[in-house]
């Protein structure tokens, strides 16, 4: 879910940064991986982008 949220939040050009929180080392590692676009398949990215595109109309 973290990786989906990061991709969803960082995709629009109007967003230059997000500030994720972390309560544990594991959460921090997940945030870093998500910000580096690790862990989402291309198909998942395309699905998120398709949902966002419908909202922009």
Residue pLDDT, tens place only, 1-30: 777 777 777 766 777 777 788 899 998 888
Contact criterion met (CB below 8 Å) for 35 and 6: yes
Q: For position 24, what pLDDT does the model report?
A: 94
Q: For position 56, what pLDDT does the model report?
A: 62
Q: Higher-confidence residue: 52 or 22?
A: 22
Tokens 């990215």 locate to 45
39-53 mean pLDDT: 83
Give which of 15, 18, 6 is closest to 45, Cα–Cα: 6
Q: For position 26, what pLDDT does the model report?
A: 92
Which pTM value belongs to this model?
Answer: 0.53
Contact criterion met (CB below 8 Å) for 40 and 4: yes
For the record, the structure tokens of 35 come out as: 């910000």
């Amino acid at each position: 879910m973290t990786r989906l949220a990061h991709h969803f939040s960082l995709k629009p050009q109007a967003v230059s940064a997000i500030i994720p929180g972390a309560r544990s080392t594991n959460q921090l590692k997940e945030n870093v991986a998500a910000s580096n676009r690790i862990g989402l398949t291309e198909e998942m990215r395309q699905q998120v982008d398709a949902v966002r595109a419908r909202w922009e109309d």
